[in-house]
Amino acid sequence: MKVIVQHNFRDKENDLVLRTAGEELEVSRKRAEYLVNLQLVKTVEDQKGGDPKSPIEAQG
């Protein structure tokens, strides 16, 4: 699951690597929930699809 760091923190599970605000991480769902509860990260919603225009508008 992708998350974006909101506040700088030392990542205890990865040798105390400094995670800085704005950094994007790939973590397990359980770890993401833990970090969100601590208000250190926000989850990134999976974006599906591409062009937001309808097929009719995209044609012409």
The residues spanned by each domain of the chain are 2-45
| Residue appearing with tokens 């990260």 | 41
Q: Which amino acid is at 47?
A: Q
**Distances from the Cα of 7 to the Cαs of 2, 3, 11, in angstroms?**
16, 12, 12
pTM of the full structure: 0.72
Mean pLDDT of 31-50: 87
pLDDT class of 45 with cuts at 50, 70, 90: confident
Q: Which amino acid is at 10?
A: R
Residue 33 in this model has a pLDDT that exceeds 80: yes
